[in-house]
Chains A and B, each alone.
Chain A
Amino acid sequence: MHRREWLKGTSAAGMALLSSRWTIAAEEAAGISVKFPALADAALGKAKDLGASFADFHVMQTDSESLFVREEMVQGVNAGSSLGCSMRVLVSGAWGFAASEEVSEKSVLRLVESAVAVAKGQSGWRAQPVEIEMLPAFTGKWEADGDTDPFTVSLEEKVDRLLGINRSALGKGASYCHSHVSAVRERKWLANTFGTRIEQSRVRIFPNFSVTVIDPKKGEFASRESDRPPRGAGYEHLRDWDAAADAALAVEQAKEKMAAPSVTPGKMDLVIAPSNLWLTIHETVGHPTELDRALGYEANFAGTSFCTPDKLNSLQYGSELVTIVADRTVGNGLATVKWDDDGVQTVGKEFPIIEKGVFRNFQMALGQAALIGVEGGSNGCAYADSFDAFPIQRMPNISLRPGPDNAVTAESLIADVEDGIYVDGRGSWSIDQQRYNFQFTGQVFHRIRNGKLDGMYRDVAYQGNSVDFWKACDGLGGGTSYELGGAFNCGKGQPQQVAPVSHGAVPARFRQINILNTAEESGKKVAAVTNPNPNTCSCSGGGMKSWA
């Protein structure tokens, strides 16, 4: 990202705020860049003196900004910043860790002593020493691609844009609408005893809204959330979005959803839009193939995995159509970095997780590959979410490869479904601690009849088993239907860490998936309702395009 280009998006009001060093974190960051080498030398030198076989020193600065608009009221104008450092040491085969918000030589040396002391506390009773591989040393700086720095765009511009969304929704008859945008800038410095000295900076942004319509007489309501995903991008990700048009469509869809017939539970064919499928990929492929889970490191919280090391290169995870790849170099990816938080370079470390349906690779961090006899060491999947977090294995960008025929679209996939549902938008998601049994909902469930969209259903959830689900995939959209979804907030670890991650997907068709009626699940008796608009759909076709 080029700072000169960022400043193009800066208005007069935005410039007024630049008088504060708060918003020009780059300059403050430059200050840290100046003092970082000496701090790192002092910290790593002391760690070695105290017996560490390996040590790394992290500094992290995070700036954030968020705006929240409820109906036509601007109710949240927030900024935030945090800065701090941590020391991780490996002493006699045991990890020690300490962190503080004070970035000074005095503090850093104290952290080294604390980290070494807690590592030495395990001396004499460990069953297995921690062992790590040698890593190549890297030096350099990296900034993520972006266009307009969201931190330099004026508050008025952002407020006007969010108010425009809400006015559009309210004008279309929404009872309520809230919109929100948050942006985060993450700067990291890392030095380790292998000789690495690196600095990275990236920005991410998440614009979104939710509309609600109510029927006070029936005590009912329905909501529709936006599909615009978070991205590793600048302000252009909000600026270039016709959010007001999407908000108007969302109101129509929420009204239609409230009046739609309740689904009859049973097995049905599904076509799933990328706006929903990215999260299914995340939960049913991303998490099960984390090696630390498979080895029991997350057993007390996130869980373990059905995908155990003995299944490498043998488990038929999905149909032959399914290839899912991990890649931390994806443009605008939320997990995109040049080096992970162990100091492993990500370029050249892209890998397939599932290749033509077969399970091929785990995601790994430092010290894990040797535990399952895999050569080549870590594949660059470490991340720490804050200055005071111990780096753990986290998801890279994990994406479903498009099908071979570029001409295939969601419409083509729908055309081969007699009786089914087209699922659009991320809803509720839940999966067991070994990643077998999942249940997801969505924002909108379009009924498919005889190869065409035909109204909507309400009260829909799809439930299944991860491997059975991917084996039921018999159609994929082509490259032109590919979209990058993602989330700011994937949780894992104790204490819990929150990681941003992207997932690319194409529309995909799955045969005979178990559909639940969520109203019946809640204990309500559901009356058969006749579709009020049996042959029309306000979003037929257009729904897919508008939410792309």
Chain B
Amino acid sequence: MGLTREETESLCEKILGLVKADDAEVWVSSSEDLQLRSANNDITSNGLVQRARIGLSVSYGKRSASISLNQTDDATLRDAVEKVQAMAKLAPEDPEQMPPVEPADFAEPLTFSEATASMTPEEALAQVRPVIEQARAAKVESAGYLERSVSGSALANSRGLFVFQRETSVGFSVTARTAEGGGSGWASTQVTDASQLNLEPVGERAIEKALSSRHPEERAPGRTTVVLEPAAVRDLLSLLSWSIDRREFDEGRSFLNGLVEEGEDPIGKALFGEKANLISDPLFKPAPCGTHSHGLPLTKTPWIENGVLRNLYLGRFWAQKLGVPPQPGPGNLIMPGEGKSMEELIGQVEDGVLITRLWYLRMVQPQSLLYTGLTRDGTFAIKDGKISGPVKNFRFNESPVNVLKNLVSSGVPTRVLGSESDMPVHAPPLVVSDFNLSSVSDAS
């Protein structure tokens, strides 16, 4: 189960007590992961993994260095402290080196569940088994992955900061594939509290998509209205959230530089469609996250409000230089939806494509935040407001900026897994116009 709060605090104190440098910051995390992987309707690997990790940064004035380790015996800790201090003394001064953060009050996070922490391998197997049996009964091949994670992490420093937070989650995804016809379907869920876990509907969705995506037809690529399911939306929002950076903009190397005139500030500008809203809130119960980021309190933060950019990530050094408070990056992402059902969203589309999820997203052009990637595991044509049948997958070249500019309407938000990050994201399905489907992929 990892280290308790008391054990973690004691370890932090021990390490800080060994440090002779001017300042020090230590983080300690310990975790126990239960990992259950399946393929071809059988378990393929199944394990229980315990980890501990310690990070220590020390500084002498503007000279600093960091070390990480996973052994906690006294001799190793002493050696690690000696080593990192020697490295810091040899390091040149960094004019941007900041002192450790001062102690602060942090809200109690909503990220821990006893039911998840106490989940056993047998219980995990019992959850996954019906999904595999569903697939066998439907005569499709399933491959899935369940990961139950329990972790505790602490941050402490020589200024007196100590914060300890625990986190639990269970993530599950499954792909069902048909033996003939090239059908493939995927579905997922992620919860903090394992007592809310119900994998059978997840399996049913994947199987249904696999069966209904057999024998896809080829649809011409081009700019198209698409219905993006939440898994696709969460990937695109994650990519956008990594790039809303004040310093990059100030230095002239952000996609935002191309959206405003020289000398203009992007904050307060309507850079996205008026239906675009994006916030982070660590205490959002359906998808919570920790309540600090490197010792800075995380609070509810609007990033985009009715299409207007409201905040940018702002590191401590750059904030000091600008004379304003720092703005930590998001620990989770929440996009409120309009609450429309999938039927309503699809019903709005005269001629378009429904996309279940995206794959292999990579930056093509940072100047426009253009990403490429592919659709997979359930891509369907929409005609006259109805699903008209499966279509072959597409490669797309599109920017999440354009996706939010061209947002037509949205559905009911949910928490699912994506292919690009583990950050908790609560996002609705979206109808987006002019989505650039660049070419057809033969992958099924």
Q: Hey, which bits of chain A sit against chain B, CB under 8 A?
A: 13, 16-17, 19-23, 70, 73-84, 94-102, 114-115, 117-119, 121-122, 125-128, 154-156, 159, 163, 175-176, 212, 214-217, 219-221, 223, 295-301, 303-304, 306, 388, 390, 392, 428-437, 439, 441, 459, 461, 463, 465, 494-495, 514, 516, 518-519, 521-524
Instruction: Give the Cβ gap from A138 to chain B, nearest Cβ, in Å.
Output: 24
- Cβ of B444 < 8 Å from any Cβ of A? yes
Q: Are A220 and B122 closer than 8 Å at their CB atoms?
A: no
Instruction: Give the Cβ gap from B138 to chain A, nearest Cβ, in Å.
Output: 14
Instruction: Give the Cβ gap from A174 to chain B, nearest Cβ, in Å.
Output: 12
A181–B423 CA distance with the chains assembled, in angstroms:
28
26 residue pairs bridging A and B, Cβ less than 8 Å apart:
A17-B86, A76-B66, A79-B68, A81-B69, A82-B69, A96-B46, A97-B48, A128-B42, A176-B253, A219-B260, A223-B366, A295-B39, A296-B40, A296-B141, A298-B39, A299-B39, A300-B174, A306-B443, A388-B49, A428-B372, A430-B373, A433-B376, A434-B444, A439-B397, A494-B145, A523-B368
A298–B173 CA distance with the chains assembled, in angstroms:
12
Contact of B70 among A22, A83, A159, A521 (CB under 8 A): A83
A181–B91 CA distance with the chains assembled, in angstroms:
15
CB closest chain-A residue, reference B41: A127
CB closest chain-B residue, reference A220: B367
Q: Are A77 and B64 closer than 8 Å at their CB atoms?
A: yes
Q: Are A77 and B65 closer than 8 Å at their CB atoms?
A: yes
Size band of the B side of the interface?
Answer: 35 or more
A220–B440 CA distance with the chains assembled, in angstroms:
31
Query: What are the residues of chain B within 8 A of A429 when measuring CB–CB?
Result: 362
A519–B365 CA distance with the chains assembled, in angstroms:
8
Known: A82-B53, A100-B49. 7 other contacts (CB 8 A): A17-B86, A77-B64, A80-B69, A118-B48, A159-B91, A219-B258, A430-B361
Contact of B442 among A125, A159, A392, A437 (CB under 8 A): A437
CB under 8 Å from chain A, chain B span 71-111: 71, 75, 79-80, 82-84, 86-88, 90-92, 94-96
Q: Is the interface of A mostly helix, strand, loop or mixed?
A: mixed
Instruction: Give the Cβ gap from A429 to chain B, nearest Cβ, in Å.
Output: 6
Q: Are A98 and B253 closer than 8 Å at their CB atoms?
A: no
Contact of B46 among A70, A84, A97, A519 (CB under 8 A): A97
Q: Are B258 and A13 closer than 8 Å at their CB atoms?
A: no
Query: What are the residues of chain A within 8 A of B88 when measuring CB–CB?
Result: 77
CB closest chain-B residue, reference A215: B252
A154–B86 CA distance with the chains assembled, in angstroms:
11
- Cβ of B246 < 8 Å from any Cβ of A? no
CB closest chain-B residue, reference A155: B90
CB closest chain-B residue, reference A101: B70
- Cβ of B441 < 8 Å from any Cβ of A? yes
Q: Are B52 and A463 closer than 8 Å at their CB atoms?
A: no
- Cβ of B436 < 8 Å from any Cβ of A? yes
Q: Are B48 and A439 closer than 8 Å at their CB atoms?
A: no
Q: Are B252 and A221 closer than 8 Å at their CB atoms?
A: yes
- Cβ of B439 < 8 Å from any Cβ of A? yes
Counting chain A CB atoms within 10 Å of each CB, the highest count among B51, B64, B184 belongs to: B51
- Cβ of B363 < 8 Å from any Cβ of A? yes
Instruction: Give the Cβ gap from B88 to chain A, nearest Cβ, in Å.
Output: 7
In the complex, the 3 A-B pairs of residues with the closest C-beta atoms, listed nearest first: A97-B47, A434-B443, A521-B397
Query: What are the residues of chain B within 8 A of A524 when measuring CB–CB?
Result: 368
Instruction: Give the Cβ gap from B37 to chain A, nearest Cβ, in Å.
Output: 5
Q: Are A297 and B40 closer than 8 Å at their CB atoms?
A: yes
Instruction: Give the Cβ gap from B61 to chain A, nearest Cβ, in Å.
Output: 13
Q: Are B362 and A516 closer than 8 Å at their CB atoms?
A: no
- Given the known A-B contacts A214-B252, A297-B40, A522-B397, are A81 and B442 also in contact in the complex, defined by CB atoms under 8 Å? no
Query: What are the residues of chain A within 8 A of B262 when measuring CB–CB?
Result: 216-217, 219
Q: Are B141 and A115 closer than 8 Å at their CB atoms?
A: no
CB closest chain-A residue, reference B129: A125
Q: Are B370 and A522 closer than 8 Å at their CB atoms?
A: yes
Query: What are the residues of chain A within 8 A of B84 when measuring CB–CB?
Result: 79
Instruction: Give the Cβ gap from A133 to chain B, nearest Cβ, in Å.
Output: 17
- Given the known A-B contacts A101-B50, A300-B143, are A21 and B79 also in contact in the complex, defined by CB atoms under 8 Å? yes
Instruction: Give the Cβ gap from A509 to chain B, nearest Cβ, in Å.
Output: 23
Instruction: Give the Cβ gap from B136 to chain A, nearest Cβ, in Å.
Output: 7
Q: Are A95 and B90 closer than 8 Å at their CB atoms?
A: no
Query: What are the residues of chain A within 8 A of B258 when measuring CB–CB?
Result: 219-220
- Cβ of B395 < 8 Å from any Cβ of A? yes
- Given the known A-B contacts A117-B121, A430-B373, are A296 and B253 also in contact in the complex, defined by CB atoms under 8 Å? no
Q: Are B143 and A74 closer than 8 Å at their CB atoms?
A: no
Instruction: Give the Cβ gap from B103 to chain A, nearest Cβ, in Å.
Output: 25
CB closest chain-A residue, reference B34: A118
Q: Are B438 and A516 closer than 8 Å at their CB atoms?
A: yes
Q: Are B33 and A303 closer than 8 Å at their CB atoms?
A: no
A155–B258 CA distance with the chains assembled, in angstroms:
40
Query: What are the residues of chain B within 8 A of A303 when measuring CB–CB?
Result: 359, 376, 443
Q: Are B443 and A433 closer than 8 Å at their CB atoms?
A: yes
Instruction: Give the Cβ gap from A44 to chain B, nearest Cβ, in Å.
Output: 18
Query: What are the residues of chain A within 8 A of B168 when measuring CB–CB?
Result: none
Instruction: Give the Cβ gap from B122 to chain A, nearest Cβ, in Å.
Output: 6
- Given the known A-B contacts A97-B46, A430-B373, A437-B395, are A81 and B70 also in contact in the complex, defined by CB atoms under 8 Å? yes
A306–B182 CA distance with the chains assembled, in angstroms:
11
Query: What are the residues of chain B within 8 A of A122 when measuring CB–CB?
Result: 42-43, 46, 125
Query: What are the residues of chain A within 8 A of B95 when measuring CB–CB?
Result: 73
- Given the known A-B contacts A125-B129, A439-B395, are A428 and B363 also in contact in the complex, defined by CB atoms under 8 Å? yes
Query: What are the residues of chain A within 8 A of B436 when measuring CB–CB?
Result: 521, 523
A219–B69 CA distance with the chains assembled, in angstroms:
43
- Cβ of B144 < 8 Å from any Cβ of A? yes
Q: Are B442 and A465 closer than 8 Å at their CB atoms?
A: yes
A114–B34 CA distance with the chains assembled, in angstroms:
11
A522–B434 CA distance with the chains assembled, in angstroms:
11
CB closest chain-B residue, reference A427: B364
Contact of B52 among A101, A219, A516, A522 (CB under 8 A): A101
CB closest chain-B residue, reference A495: B35
CB closest chain-A residue, reference B263: A216
- Given the known A-B contacts A22-B83, A221-B367, A437-B439, are A212 and B253 also in contact in the complex, defined by CB atoms under 8 Å? yes
Q: Are B441 and A301 closer than 8 Å at their CB atoms?
A: no
A102–B143 CA distance with the chains assembled, in angstroms:
32
A363–B44 CA distance with the chains assembled, in angstroms:
18
A296–B278 CA distance with the chains assembled, in angstroms:
37
CB under 8 Å from chain A, chain B span 145-176: 145, 147, 173-175
Contact of B83 among A79, A94, A304, A494 (CB under 8 A): A79
Query: What are the residues of chain A within 8 A of B122 when measuring CB–CB?
Result: 121
Q: Are A219 and B42 closer than 8 Å at their CB atoms?
A: no
Query: What are the residues of chain A within 8 A of B91 when measuring CB–CB?
Result: 74, 77, 155, 159
Instruction: Give the Cβ gap from B272 to chain A, nearest Cβ, in Å.
Output: 14
As a 0/1 sequence over residues 384 to 416 of chain B, the CB contacts with chain A under 8 angstroms (1 = contact) are 000000000101011100100000000000000
Query: What are the residues of chain B within 8 A of A102 when measuring CB–CB?
Result: 50
As a 0/1 sequence over residues 331 to 359 of chain B, the CB contacts with chain A under 8 angstroms (1 = contact) are 00000000000000000000000000001
A432–B442 CA distance with the chains assembled, in angstroms:
9
- Cβ of B257 < 8 Å from any Cβ of A? yes
Contact of A219 among B177, B252, B360 (CB under 8 A): B252
Contact of A432 among B253, B259, B443 (CB under 8 A): B443
- Given the known A-B contacts A22-B79, A127-B136, A296-B177, are A432 and B143 also in contact in the complex, defined by CB atoms under 8 Å? no
- Cβ of B251 < 8 Å from any Cβ of A? yes
Instruction: Give the Cβ gap from B7 to chain A, nearest Cβ, in Å.
Output: 14
A392–B96 CA distance with the chains assembled, in angstroms:
42
Query: What are the residues of chain A within 8 A of B96 when measuring CB–CB?
Result: 70, 73, 75
CB under 8 Å from chain A, chain B span 418-442: 434, 436, 438-442
